């Protein structure tokens, strides 16, 4: 088996990563026989990987733990300590099974999520204060925050949405950055966790009675492998792990709008309200849109990848964006082609925008079905339930910013309802 030389004494690629963003790993992997190299980031020895073999390493068995693998601020703004992502082995599988029940196994729950989304979208669109111009990124943040709160079984009136939508949006916006914005986002998250703990106590005491099937009830009643309920602080963290990513789907919806704008044939195809092709369209949006650049992990034992020996304790990164954009696995990867017919249910180690492998046993995202359903519904709403102009604006997508999106947030003008 081959080994990778340790990085040179003064080598550190942190600055290059910050400058190159999404392209940092793909640029280096492109010139190599196999997508694997070793360097230092934040002064720490790291092996950077991509592709199906890396996905198998990351998403099969318990060879890679997420504990200790993410910068503290990103961890606090995203999954957080004591969340399902920080668990391993049987404890992980048990808690993950609850997420699978909520998000994968029961199609009526996804249908309910989509119908709340549709209703909120149309109501906000027709609200008198809306005017005829919308910045799609902000509009989605509000609509999706309302959808997420009400679906989760939490208060979703205008006050709650107005207060929580920007907090949830800021968690994602600031997760890849360091600076004053990050500190503010962390403080606002702590406040929201406090409010959620109050809701959780009210549900547990019977003072609030959300619908039986709602996620807040499932989380409040969940019992771990020692038959103990989760502390309210952990229920709040897991509630945020449902609310925050639902709001984050707005970023994909903005890319869906951009694709519909750039590919009028797809716009025309959905204009009659047909649902045929919506899933394929949404899946290709997930492949091309830059969102999660990579995920980090630590090897719990010695392992092998692309014929190289990796030592126990090694910090490893898997390039999710790069894998979806590498011509080794996707012909002409820069072309937007829903005909590729991708699906979160197939090619589990190649098409990995939200992680790979089997979601029930690995750390793969349990929210892919919800994500595809909401992107597809948004595409249908934007083509069939409304028409609009796309005024002159800056639609550049800077790849040195994580997360990214069109600079303008995608402005719609002269919105008309049929």
Nearer to ligand HEM, 217 or 295 (CB): 295
Cβ nearer to ligand HEM, comparing 269 with 365: 365
Q: State whether the Cα torsion 256-262-266-268 is positive or negative.
A: positive
Interface residue with ligand HEM, options 39, 241, 323, 404 (CB under 6 A): 241
Q: Looking at the DSSP assignment, which residues form a beta bridge with residue 44?
A: 41
Q: Yes or no: say if 54 and 331 are a contact pair by the CB < 8 Å rule.
A: no
Q: How far is it, in rounded angstroms, from Cα 320 to Cα 55?
A: 9
Shortest Å, Cβ 370 to ligand HEM: 4
Residue 99 contacts residue 222 (beta carbons within 8 Å): no
Residues contacting 391, CB < 8 A, separation 6+: 411, 413
Interface positions, 83-142, toward ligand HEM (CB under 6 A) = 84-85, 96, 99, 103
Q: What is the Cα Rg of the chain in Å?
A: 21
The widest CA-to-CA distance across the chain, in whole angstroms, is: 67
Q: Which stretch binds ligand HEM (CB under 6 A): 160-168, 204-212, 291-299, 406-414?
A: 291-299
Output the smallest distance, CB 177 to ligand HEM, in A. Answer: 17
In the complex with ligand HEM, which residue's Cβ is closer, 166 or 269? 166
Of 218 and 388, CB closest to ligand HEM: 218
- β-pairing, 44-49 vs 315-319, is parallel
Contact with ligand HEM (CB under 6 A) among 295, 305, 348, 412: 295
Q: Residue 181 has which token pair?
A: 């914005």
Reported as half-sphere exposure (CB side, CA atoms, 13 A), residue 227 has a value of 0
- Helix (H) or strand (E) segment spanning residue 375: helix 368-384
CA–CA separation, 296 vs 340, rounded Å? 28
Shortest reach from residue 103's CB to ligand HEM, in Å: 6
Give yes or no for residue 57 binding ligand HEM (CB under 6 A).
no
Using CB under 6 A, pick the residue from 161, 196, 249, 411 that binds ligand HEM: 249
Going through 54-126 in order, the beta strands assigned E by DSSP cover: 64-65
Interface with ligand HEM (CB under 6 A), residue from 117, 292, 336, 344: 292
* 383 interacts with ligand HEM by CB under 6 A: no
**DSSP per residue, 151-200:** HHTS--SHHHHHHHHHHHHHHHHHTT--SHHHHHHHHHHHHHHHHHHHHH
Which residue's CB is nearer to ligand HEM, number 166 or number 293? 293
Find the residue with minimal CB distance to ligand HEM: 367
Between 11 and 106, CB nearer to ligand HEM = 106
Nearer to ligand HEM, 266 or 291 (CB): 291
Nearer to ligand HEM, 12 or 53 (CB): 53
Interface with ligand HEM, residue 66, by CB under 6 A: yes
Q: Which of 291, 315, 321, 336 binds ligand HEM (CB under 6 A)?
A: 291
Cβ-based nearer residue to ligand HEM, 41 or 372: 372
Q: CA 58, CA 142: separation in Å to the nearest integer?
A: 34
CB of 331 to ligand HEM, least distance (A): 23
Minimum distance from residue 379 beta carbon to ligand HEM (Å): 15
φ, ψ (nearest 5 deg) of residue 305: -145, 130
Handedness of CA 192, 197, 202, 204 (dihedral sign): positive
Rounded to whole angstroms, the Cα distance separating 38 from 30 reads 14
CB 315 within 8 A of CB 45: yes
- Within 310-369, the residues that bind ligand HEM by CB under 6 A are 320, 354-355, 363, 365-367
Member of 75, 104, 196, 246 binding ligand HEM (CB under 6 A): 246
| Element holding 353 (H helix, E strand) | none
Q: How far is the CB of 366 from ligand HEM (least distance, A)?
A: 5
Contacts with ligand HEM by CB under 6 A lie at 66, 84-85, 96, 99, 103, 241-242, 245-246, 248-249, 252, 291-292, 295, 320, 354-355, 363, 365-367, 370-371
């Amino acid at each position: 088996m081959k080994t990778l030389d340790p990085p040179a004494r003064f080598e550190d690629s942190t600055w290059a990563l910050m400058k190159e963003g999404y392209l940092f790993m793909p640029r280096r992997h492109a010139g190599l026989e196999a997508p694997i190299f070793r360097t230092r980031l934040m002064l720490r020895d790291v092996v950077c990987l991509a592709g199906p073999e890396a996905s198998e390493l990351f998403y099969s068995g318990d060879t890679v733990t997420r504990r200790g693998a993410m910068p503290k601020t990103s961890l606090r703004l995203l999954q957080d300590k004591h969340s399902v992502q920080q668990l391993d082995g049987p404890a992980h599988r048990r808690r993950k099974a609850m997420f699978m029940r909520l998000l994968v196994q029961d199609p009526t729950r996804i249908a309910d999520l989509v119908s709340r989304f549709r209703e909120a979208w149309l109501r906000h669109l027709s609200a008198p204060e809306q005017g005829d111009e919308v910045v799609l990124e902000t509009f989605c943040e509000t609509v999706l925050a309302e959808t997420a709160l009400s679906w989760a079984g939490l208060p979703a009136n205008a006050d709650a949405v107005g207060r929580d939508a920007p907090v949830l949006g800021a968690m994602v916006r600031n997760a890849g950055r360091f600076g004053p914005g990050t500190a503010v986002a962390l403080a606002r998250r702590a406040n929201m966790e406090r409010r959620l703990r109050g809701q959780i106590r009210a549900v547990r005491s019977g003072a609030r009675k959300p619908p039986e099937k709602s996620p807040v009830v499932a989380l409040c009643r969940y019992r771990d492998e020692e038959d103990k309920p989760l502390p309210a602080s952990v229920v709040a963290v897991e509630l945020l792990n449902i609310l925050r990513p639902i709001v984050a789907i707005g970023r994909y919806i903005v890319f869906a709008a951009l694709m519909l704008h750039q590919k009028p044939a797809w716009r025309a195809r959905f204009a009659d309200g047909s649902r045929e092709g919506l899933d394929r369209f949404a899946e290709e949006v997930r492949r091309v849109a830059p969102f999660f650049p990579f995920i980090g992990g630590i090897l719990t034992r010695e392992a092998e990848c692309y014929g190289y020996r990796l030592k126990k304790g090694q910090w490893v990164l898997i390039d999710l964006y790069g894998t979806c954009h590498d011509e080794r696995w996707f012909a002409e990867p820069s072309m937007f082609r829903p005909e590729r017919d991708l699906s979160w249910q197939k090619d589990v180690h190649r098409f990995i925008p939200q992680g790979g492998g089997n979601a029930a046993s690995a750390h793969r995202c349990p929210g892919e079905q919800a994500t595809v359903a909401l992107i597809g519904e948004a595409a249908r709403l934007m083509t069939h339930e409304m028409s609009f102009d796309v005024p002159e604006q800056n639609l550049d997508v800077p790849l040195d910013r994580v997360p990214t999106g069109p600079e303008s947030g995608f402005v719609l003008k002269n919105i008309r309802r049929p």
